[in-house]
Structure 1
Amino acid sequence: MLTSADKLDGYVLDNMEGAVDQAAFLARTETPVAIIGARGTGKMYIARILHAQAGGSVNSLIAIDCREFRSRDDANRRIRQALLAGAGKTLVFKSPHLMAAESQVKLARQMATRLLADAETPTYLPAVRFVALFPASLQRLVAEGALQRKLASVFAAYPIRVPPMRHRQQAILRWARKILAQECASRSIEVKGFTPEAEQAMRQHPWHGNISEIRQRVVRALEQKPGGEWLTPVDLKLFLGDQAASGSLQLPLQGSPGYECGGDSYSPSAWEELALMLAERVNQLLSVQELLPLGTWLEDEIVLATLARYQGQHGDSAAFLHTSRRNIARWLPAIAARQAARDGCPLWQDPARLVADWIRGLGSAGDSPLLAGQSLLLELLEAHRDVATVDLRAQLLGVSRPTYGKRLREWRDAALPPGLTVAHG
């Protein structure tokens, strides 16, 4: 059925349980389309297929990243600009549930009526195709209070569901080999491939981070592996203990309202996985009395992930972290000095990967991710206050005992539980 879509960069023979065929079919219509899938499953890839099958050019697909809207007015202004310039284009709204409620309702009204809002005279929208990318079913997002019903109803007609990698076992190795080839080409290096043991480990791993996690693990392996060799399970940081933990731990949203909405195949968010992983690391370190500065490393990874999100721009990164450009510049030398210690610690590889996933999926509104990360780790450490001294907890947070006491008082004085004012993605 596909014509030009199979020439998209990164395409592999993976029908994604019919998502590709459904996108090709819906390309013939003008219906707004919701593409639903957990992080890293390839939602934007499906959007590009839909756009290509509709005859759109590469430059006429416009991605509108709703995570970057800093306020209701910012969202309304940028959406209005996109609508006015949208003739013949496909507008892809990434994570529109992260917009302010008023902006969601306003967008829904404009899409339903095809009339531009706040115009002095009735102004029809140009011919434009609407696509939205959501991390979970519309029913679940509405039940959680993130997505407004009016916007959900606009996109509810023919949602495309992109299944997680664990339901696409036959495609895991194809994606891994494609990603390895892409990353080797971008670095001008040669790697022979994956060992049989690595391929077996990849088939058994749950891949909660989906295609994004495959790329992250391959990239980290290439950064630490000389060219010309085979990548092993150790290089990819795929261990039996890691697999067992991923499959056995109870996830925070399981059993909560909205969890089963729409028959979702549940995938944990990066924040949920990060919380579980840090809890596991705290338990491990306290059980063997090994002290690593988890809090300092966590803040390092948050800063680095933010810089990666904003392509090294200190101004945007500082605004996202609720700090100053001067602080970013001041922190970087120390972060770089600790890089070898972080990279050389096997226990830290998965938390670092999950921090990058979490930061990439956050909205710009809300409190600082640095505060959310600090609050999370404080909560985990305080859960062990009966068995771990203040000195031990302070060392795991990476601060002095007086500083630990100060942060603990600030955390307890906060009006909300740790992290709740930050959109966790």
Structure 2
Amino acid sequence: MQRGIVWIVDDDSSIRWVLERALTGAGLSCSTFESGSEVLDAIATQTPDVLLSDIRMPGMDGLALLKQIKQRHPMLPVIIMTAHSDLDAAVSAYQQGAFDYLPKPFDIDEAVALVERAISHYQEQQQPPRSQPASGPTADIIGEAPAMQDVFRIIGRLSRSSISVLINGESGTGKELVAHALHRHSPRAKAPFIALNMAAIPKDLIESELFGHEKGAFTGANQIRQGRFEQADGGTLFLDEIGDMPLDVQTRLLRVLADGQFYRVGGYAPVKVDVRIIAATHQNLELRVQEGKFRDDLFHRLNVIRVHLPPLRERREDIPRLARYFLQDAAKELGVEAKNLHPETEAALTRLPWPGNVRQLENTCRWLTVMAAGQEVLIQDLPGELFETSAPESGGPSLPDSWATLLAQWADRALRSGHQNLLSEAQPEMERTLLTTALRHTQGHKQEAARLLGWGRNTLTRKLKELGME
């Protein structure tokens, strides 16, 4: 039984073939097209239940086709596909009325499930998509990893909303960058974006920073001062490290969110404001609530939409592209030619744990732009402290990756110094280290140590003799 009609448009015949095969196998009727103009010709006489369109095609691109489709059939769900996974592509697709955004390469089962959901949406006619012109150019948030694509989707879906958002993520993951993106792609984009870091302000000054003060409110208050709420009126107030906000200030913040007004410090006249709140923290706010350090009612007021930013170690596929971007950015800032990464260096950067996340990678690229001797960055150019750090406990041990990187550094230096027969030098040292560690772990029990190393008892005995460890 046919459960829906799907049209696929992509200039890549292999993509068309793979999708057609998968969707037909799921009981759907498929037609494929090579260009947007072919789709417009066909849609004049018939209409599918869902359209999958590539975003970058010769002639009419996917967004132009999406605009044409929405003018003619505003209820038709359109899924935009792209191999160029960036924030602007996702937001532009959503703002112009796309049903969803499918980054390549995609999982076939997920693609089929998405198409079936779109068909169900179309047949039930629950929510007609609205068309909006895309925003102008914005700073990139780079991310091809699935977790970052989820972030892009949230930003796109919130592009018509002023709802409160709570951003969770380790230090250095880019929480303020995401907050900026949420603001730029919102109805408040032309109004101010004001940021305030709770952890960077002395506790006795936080109220004055947030709400301002009247002249004479305290010693040194020689004039009226607007707080961040007034500065952000009509726009967005980004409260970073919200978990560090004192409880008494939390109470005032909750009242402002509920009433839309506040009193300056030392003031008696209410000040009305219209502000969207985006909060961020690296802490577990649920745990802070349980410990009595964060108000439960404020948490629920802020936690309307949650955005989780993954640590860099969970999106390693993004590291090479991020590193190239930061090297180019640093070179532009310093007025020099951008450096290139040697393939081994790129691989080493990808394996590192990066406890400081994207911020640490950015700072490393700035350091390399100044300190690396040649135009191509080699492994030995990397700062030594990168190999001394380990990932946070939640990320698990990172020894194998770090060890392999250090071995590569040693081999590179040895070869450049004219050494030969590296394996005959490295292998005994590696075996000696593993044997010593295994015997220590088993308190000298040789048979158990052999088992842990994957050797037989005779092999271990022979190795001990060869290495002079008997």
Q: What TM-score results when the alignment is normalised by the length of structure 2?
A: 0.48
The whole-number CA distance in structure 1 between the counterparts of 2:301 and 2:311 is 25
The whole-number CA distance in structure 2 between the counterparts of 1:195 and 1:106 is 54
Task: Give the CA deviation at 1:182.
Answer: 0.2
The whole-number CA distance in structure 2 between the counterparts of 1:64 and 1:240 is 30
Bigger strand share: 2
The whole-number CA distance in structure 1 between the counterparts of 2:378 and 2:293 is 41
Kept after mapping to 2: 8 A contact 1:173/1:203:
yes
Kept after mapping to 2: 8 A contact 1:179/1:218:
yes
Candidates 197, 216, 221, aligned match of 1:65: 197
The whole-number CA distance in structure 2 between the counterparts of 1:96 and 1:107 is 11
Matched, 1:135 2:267: no
The answer for the alignment partner of 1:49 in structure 2 is: 181
Candidates 390, 410, 427, aligned match of 1:246: 390
Matched, 1:95 2:225: no
How many aligned residue pairs are there?
A: 248
Kept after mapping to 2: 8 A contact 1:97/1:104:
no
Bigger helix share: 1
The whole-number CA distance in structure 1 between the counterparts of 2:236 and 2:395 is 28
Matched, 1:78 2:209: yes
Candidates 202, 210, 229, aligned match of 2:375: 229
Matched, 1:106 2:252: yes
The whole-number CA distance in structure 1 between the counterparts of 2:318 and 2:139 is 16
The whole-number CA distance in structure 1 between the counterparts of 2:206 and 2:137 is 34
- Consecutive unaligned residues in structure 1, runs of 5 or more: 255-265, 269-425
Candidates 9, 12, 16, aligned match of 2:139: 9
Q: Which amino acid aligns with 2:230?
A: L
The whole-number CA distance in structure 2 between the counterparts of 1:146 and 1:86 is 27
Task: Give the CA deviation at 1:37.
Answer: 0.7
- Structure scoring higher RCO (CA < 8 A, sep ≥ 6) equals 1
Kept after mapping to 1: 8 A contact 2:155/2:181:
yes
Q: Which amino acid aligns with 1:54?
A: S
Kept after mapping to 1: 8 A contact 2:263/2:271:
no
Q: Which amino acid aligns with 1:129?
A: R
The whole-number CA distance in structure 2 between the counterparts of 1:26 and 1:107 is 23
The whole-number CA distance in structure 2 between the counterparts of 1:229 and 1:108 is 54
Q: Could you say what secondary structure the match of 1:159 adopts?
A: strand
Task: Give the CA deviation at 1:144.
Answer: 5.6
The whole-number CA distance in structure 1 between the counterparts of 2:249 and 2:175 is 23
Task: Give the CA deviation at 1:208.
Answer: 1.8
Kept after mapping to 1: 8 A contact 2:164/2:277:
yes
Q: Could you say what secondary structure the match of 2:390 adopts?
A: helix
The whole-number CA distance in structure 2 between the counterparts of 1:145 and 1:219 is 41
Tell me the alpha carbon deviations over residues 383-420 of structure 1, each in whole angstroms, 9 at most, x when there is no partner.
xxxxxxxxxxxxxxxxxxxxxxxxxxxxxxxxxxxxxx
Tell me the alpha carbon deviations over residues 74-117 of structure 1, each in whole angstroms, 9 at most, x when there is no partner.
21122112223432111111112223221122112211332324
Q: Could you say what secondary structure the match of 2:166 adopts?
A: strand
Q: What TM-score results when the alignment is normalised by the length of structure 1?
A: 0.52
Q: Could you say what secondary structure the match of 1:181 adopts?
A: helix
Alignment of 1:194-213 (within 5 A): 194-213=341-360
Q: Could you say what secondary structure the match of 2:325 adopts?
A: helix
Kept after mapping to 2: 8 A contact 1:205/1:238:
no
Q: Could you say what secondary structure the match of 1:246 adopts?
A: coil
The whole-number CA distance in structure 2 between the counterparts of 1:57 and 1:82 is 17
The whole-number CA distance in structure 2 between the counterparts of 1:86 and 1:199 is 42
Kept after mapping to 2: 8 A contact 1:20/1:49:
no
Alignment of 1:19-418 (within 5 A): 19-57=151-189, 60-72=192-204, 74-80=205-211, 81-117=227-263, 120=268, 123=270, 125-143=272-290, 146-226=293-373, 229-237=375-383, 242=388, 246=390, 266=394
The whole-number CA distance in structure 2 between the counterparts of 1:240 and 1:69 is 30
Task: Give the CA deviation at 1:238.
Answer: 6.3
- Identity rate of aligned residues, in percent? 22
- Consecutive unaligned residues in structure 2, runs of 5 or more: 1-89, 93-133, 212-226, 397-470
The whole-number CA distance in structure 2 between the counterparts of 1:240 and 1:129 is 39
Q: Which amino acid aligns with 2:210?
A: I
Tell me the alpha carbon deviations over residues 235-273 of structure 1, each in whole angstroms, 9 at most, x when there is no partner.
22368954xx615xxx6xx6xxxxxxxxxxx469xxxxx
The answer for the alignment partner of 1:372 in structure 2 is: none
Q: Which amino acid aligns with 1:89?
A: G
Task: Give the CA deviation at 1:9.
Answer: 2.7
CA RMSD of aligned residues (A): 2.9
- Point out the structure with max Rg over C-alpha: 2
Kept after mapping to 2: 8 A contact 1:35/1:160:
yes
